[in-house]
Structure 1
Amino acid sequence: MQDERKTREELLQELSHYRRQAERNLNEMRLSSLFKLSQMNHRSHNEVLDFGLEEAINLTESKIGYIYYYDEDTKNFTLYSWSASVMIQCAIIEKQSIYQLEKTGLWGEAVRQRKAIITNDYPAPNPYKKGYPDGHVQLIRHMNIPIFNNEKIVAVIGVGNKDTDYTESDVVQLQLFMDGLWNIAEKIRAEEEVLKSEQKFKAVADLSCDWEYWIAPNGDMIYCSPSCHLLTGYDQKEFLAKGSLTQSIVHPQDVNTYYDHVEYDEKQSAQQREITFRIVTKDSKEKWICHVCRPIYSEKGECLGRRVSNRDITDRKRDEALLLQSNAEIRRLNENILTMLRMMSHDIRSPLLTMSATLKLLQRGHYGHMDESATNTVKDLTIRVHRILGIADDCLGKAHAVKDSLAVQKQQIDLRQDIIEEIIEEFSSEIQKKNISIDNRLGSIPTGAVIVNASKIWLKSVYRNLFKNAIKYGGENITIAYGYEDHVTFYKLCVFNTGPVIPNEKRDILFTKFGRVGDGSVQEGVGMGLFLTKEVINQHGGEIWYEEIEHGGAFFFTLPK
């Protein structure tokens, strides 16, 4: 019995020794695999994961394996890769690569339970199983574990079809190996992302036509784009070697502007600012640059310096100077033209007014009786004089409007006698030629005088423009009506015509300077009429607008009493 008991003890010792040796062998295999991984810094992230998957299969003495990424926010699995042996055995034509956690079977339990799951008899019934499609690799034994990163599951690795049962020792070895693998793979992935970011940055910055550079908080230049040579004549190495070179090429007359900008940036680093100044290039040429700088911060909010962009605006500055010179010359010429126009209008009006007064005396018989022929001639001449007076008034008004110096001197005038009747008489030949009817059906003007407080010359200009537009754009056989309403504190006046209505899309430009609303066949002048009309009404303290009403359109305007 003693010998037999000793033999059992020896067997137990040998078995324990064997287990310890097997565990040491697994540890050595795992450490060897991790060492190999640590030497793969030159390999890509995918190459490292592929190598790690095959090593995990060998470490657990499995025949197949897989890695799925997992997103805890969307609860989706995304296939990274099955092992090469699986791809040979798998007969599924359309392989699924994305799975929702809720639709996964037994293999999803590693995520749901957040721990390793061992299934040593996979064909046996299991309440968690949901089956797998025809052509799938047959599973005999299966083990998978979740991979954590900052307490979040980021992936799942699974192995299968080991010849013997999976044990907790397999779980420990695979867990330790995957922790090391994932750290190495994530480091390489981060380096790849940084490299991609740097490549994108260099692709943009190095090929930029603008001179770009990055200044660290201590004033050192971290990066300088190659375009610095095109702009300054100095190359990248010169700027990177001598940070003060940037300041030294600033034009002497702009040094204070530049240093004020730099000093302000140091105090107000959170703001983006833009200035323009001159530099002196390596070959002593003078150039203008537009200088824009903005702060750079890390994800933690730490200031990393400032990014600076300099653009050559020498041509723009030269063009601006020429434009200013040209504008000054144009203003001088315009002033001369407007002065001459005002003088001519004033000089023409004086003799025309005298002529008009004389013609009125002739019509009244002040100089004796005239026969019918002479009377008609004097009447026609009176109309022509009034028309020329209207043209002179329009020229005078437009000259004032262009110069933005419209002056209004109000007086008591009779709207009917001093304004409307004279305007109708002025356009009598056009009215007769186009068979136009004049009507006041939109408002009844009293039989007596309608006294308004306004400038006669300017109010006549308003009615002249409105009547002229109605005649010009209304066409033949239309009706032009004028209206009048007394609203206690103001008069509401209007000029209506039954011609075509002004389209909606053109009403926004009705009262703009040089705005045109007619078609090309009837356009004349420079488009100042309605703009001037609005200016006159506004200067009188009123408003003007256009409305589409029954059978036509009308311009309404108000005059305060």
Structure 2
Amino acid sequence: MITVLLVDDEPVLLDIGRMFLEKIGEFKIHVAQSGEEAINKLHIGEYDAVVSDYEMPEMSGLLLLREVRTTWPDLPFILFTGRGREEIVIEALNSGADFYLQKGGDPKAQFTELAHKIKKAVSTRSASTKLKESEETFRQFFESAGEAIFILDHDRIVDSNQRGITLLGLDRETVIGIVPSEISTSVQPDGRSAKDLFELNIFRALSGEIPVFEWQFFRPDGTVIDTSVTMSQLVIHGRILLQAIVRDISVRKKEEKSRMLNEIRLEAMIGLYAIRDKNLKDITDFALESAVTITESQYGYLAFLTDDEHTMTLYSWSERTLNECVVSEKPISYQVKNTGLWGEAVRKRTAVITNEYSPNPSEIKELLPINIPFKRHMNVPVFNSGKIVMVAGVANKTEEYNDEDVRQLNLLMNGTWGIVRRKKTEEILQTKNFELAAAYEQIRITEEELKMSEGRYRGLVERSEDLIIMLNDQYMPIYISPSFYEMTGYDISKVLGKPLRLDLFSQDDQDKIARMQMEVCTGKPISHFEIQIKCKDGRYVTLDMRGVPIYHENQFNGIQIIGRDISAYKSVQKALMQKNHRLQLLSDLTRHDILNKLTTLGGFLDLVKDGDEYDKYISDTINQAQNAVDGIKYLIEFTRDYQSLGIRESEWINAGKAFDQAASQLNLNGITIDNQVSDIFVRTDPLFSRALYNLMENSLRHGEKVNNIKMSVRADGNSITLILEDNGVGVLPEEKLRIFEQGVGHNTGLGLFLVHEILTSTGLDISETGIPGEGARFEIQVPVGLYRIETKRS
């Protein structure tokens, strides 16, 4: 039975409508004569539909429709009126009327149509209500499901229950419309990319399959969630969608991983024991690869420490580290104080975990001594009797390192150290045995060589013409070679083991021996000192003595002395000096006599020139004779200077003062002297001033227009160059290299030759570098070590 509220302001129409509808037998009719009365009845009763007239006082049918839709949005409403304007029909339908029926015509047919409309509206509204109830039931099931459920339109999420939102850790607005592969790990557990795996299972579900597969999401905080996804096809309102039921299996996965890691750890310990007899490198490499595996890391290293814990030697790297990074396979040693993060376990003497890496940590000087994409790091120290002996480090675990990782790495590395310690002890013992055997063999060989060497050297010493003496720390001779008897005639046995006989030496030589004893005590060797020993027959033998102190375990133990008889050499040297003295005396006397004769000849020539009359021929002859006299004088002076060259030792000469001294000996009428050299000292022959004099005299003699002579200095790297130059006519290019040769020149040809000899005899050099027409320029090169600069203060 359908209960209908019929509303009209005309009672007659209400009665007719009730009779027609109730006569059909499917309706129970209630009436109301106004909109207000209809609202009141709706509040107190239950109705399946409302049929209302349009035009009523106070509240029209449209106003009643709007009130009904506000409070009872699902109640069927039919507007039954005599008005048929199109705008009223549109407004009624837009306001929520289910049907619009116009009054007029055959009443029976009209009310039959009304009954049909009422039944249809009630049926439609009932289906809609059931659909809503069904959807609400589905939503309730959807939201209360124990697993996360996502509804997808192909590859995008269009709906999700609250468990799905919670699982992903995102807000609903973000989840709706997102592509799952965008919030998932790029590579999924089966090795496929997230995009490929998702597309494959969408295809399988749309083909009628119900695929089940593992999938990894990641939350905004980076946490990875392991899930199992069951995907199936879902049709809603004729629309084909996909339903994905997602089960969080992270706990199960962790348990499986823990179980697998425990098996790997057990295998690592068993494997470590199995290779205990292999070499140290194989053992450490195996332990390191096991450490990387059990901590789920990507990189690893192993380092040993010295006994003082100051130095770390990086001994082994994991295979991936060697493959991806530039790492030397040789052990690399570092001072612990200079290490970065990889030395923290030593400095803090405990395991160090770094899960959040900062690019510029204030307490870390450097991360690792290799270039790796560093994310996370952990290293542990291994102790032996309170000292750190080894450090193991791993890096870049996908998840954070934790205390369990520290515990497992400690267990593995302590087991490793036990094997390494035994291995090192065995290797040390083996090495010592080899070294001991080698040492015994070397001692045997050395003893044989010493015997052979002693025989050879004793033969050399016994046959040596030099005197060889060994003195003990009390300066008493404990060995004297046989040559001592040959030199002095004394019996060696009467001298050995007794204090030195100082009566065999002069007083000066006794003082030399005393000084020698004092110097030797300080470790200074004896170098070339001469002494004379009085022989048994009264003559003296001159010896050139050399010696070295002998030490044993840093204690002075005596002196070894070698003396060479230089008596014959001294006699020859004395004879040469006497002959040289006689030759020099003869040369001086000869020069003196020649100069006296030349002076007399010059005087006569001057007297002749002072006469009142003599013809031009005689004048020319006298001038030529005078020139010959001057030339002879110059040659005699040259022989004197050349004879002195090299006889006296080089000395430090002030170059500026030598220049001034040379200038003072010349006739410089109208000539300007410019001395720009001061504080420069040159180590050269004492005739250096004579060389400068010859250079200046050369300028005056051959410069023609010279009115300025200057001396300056130039630095040339480590050496210096003294420059003496004038402003005369200069030297022709073809003569520059020849002017220092003997006999070259317009006068005697010896002036510049002597200059060259004086300078080059002590390591200096000279060259002419002037420009013809602008003046002569002589450059004297002084190498390092042959000059010094002394300021007035110094």
TM-score by length of 1: 0.42
TM-score by length of 2: 0.31
* More RCO (CA 8 Å, sep 6+): 1
